[in-house]
Amino acid sequence: MKTSRDAYGQQLLAQYQSQQPTVEIIERDDNYIDTGSDPGLYFSEYRQWSLLEKRAVKLAKGKILDVGCGAGRHALYLQTKGYDVVGIDNSPGAIRVCKLRGLKRAIVRPINDVNKFKPASFDTIIMMGNNFGLFGSFENARAILKKFARITAPDARIIAVTFDPYKTDNPLHSSYLLLNRRRGRLGGQIRMRVRYGATVGEWFDYLFVSPDEMRDILSNTDWRIEKLLNAEEANYVSLIQKKSS
């Protein structure tokens, strides 16, 4: 089996080179398989975004770090608007695509390595496209939130998009949530991998949380939920504010 960390990046590169949307295929560790994001989403322009996504991006201010920037749709938009923005992604293919598309500051860096940035480098960290999920787990989220506190200025904010996994009527998802609880994980801690062509990505954890679970994760950290957008729906945005020290 040809395993690669970067099935995701290969998919983005192929889309960029062919200018054709490709179908994303995601496999979960209970063998559930499905298509992921809508074809073309990663390359979508501002005018094609949902109202929620537009509202979320509007909350960014100052110097911005885009965590899990993918093909760079948000970072490129913010760069065009004159913001000082850095995109990081653990996918070399994704970062290559960002650079090809004109993003000035794009770095291959996993979220766990954000402490490589200097203290107080950013005013806003954006985690768009469900990228709150990149925290991966409860414990890892708390460890990274500490790093986020260090690399951000006072009064900084995190704009995080996620999906409440309990708002599902699909029995395959409900039983997976239960399986996760039984093995001591958060319900929405999805173990998944990307499949692209003959390339099988590595397994990784991607975390979906309810607003209550997000509150738990943030409790006794440097961060608190300031505002939720669209909280009554499955897909919602959290504006997370740094507490004044």
Contact set with a copy of itself (CB under 8 A): 1-2, 23, 25, 28, 30-35, 172, 195-200
Q: Which two tokens stand for residue 41?
A: 């989403």
Least distance from C-beta 105 to a copy of itself, angstroms?
Answer: 34
Residues 6+ apart with CB under 8 A from 148: 114, 125, 156, 158, 222, 223
DSSP letter (8 states) at residue 173: H
CB-based contact 23:33 (threshold 8 Å): no
Cβ closest to a copy of itself, residue 148 vs residue 196: 196
CA distance 18 to 128: 25
Cβ closest to a copy of itself, residue 178 vs residue 231: 178
Cβ closest to a copy of itself, residue 171 vs residue 184: 171
DSSP reduced 3-state for 59: coil
Least distance from C-beta 235 to a copy of itself, angstroms?
Answer: 20
Cβ closest to a copy of itself, residue 31 vs residue 244: 31
CA distance 194 to 228: 29
Least distance from C-beta 191 to a copy of itself, angstroms?
Answer: 13
Cβ closest to a copy of itself, residue 32 vs residue 83: 32
Planar angle of CA 206, 29, 185, nearest 5 degrees:
55
Cβ closest to a copy of itself, residue 51 vs residue 198: 198
Least distance from C-beta 176 to a copy of itself, angstroms?
Answer: 8
Q: Where are the alpha helices (DSSP H) in 58-130?
A: 73-80, 92-100
Half-sphere exposure of 55 (CA within 13 A, CB side): 12
Least distance from C-beta 18 to a copy of itself, angstroms?
Answer: 11
Least distance from C-beta 175 to a copy of itself, angstroms?
Answer: 9
Least distance from C-beta 174 to a copy of itself, angstroms?
Answer: 12
Q: Which two tokens stand for residue 217?
A: 């994760």
- Closest of 51, 79, 62, 53 to residue 242, by C-alpha: 62
Cβ closest to a copy of itself, residue 33 vs residue 231: 33
CA distance 94 to 7: 10
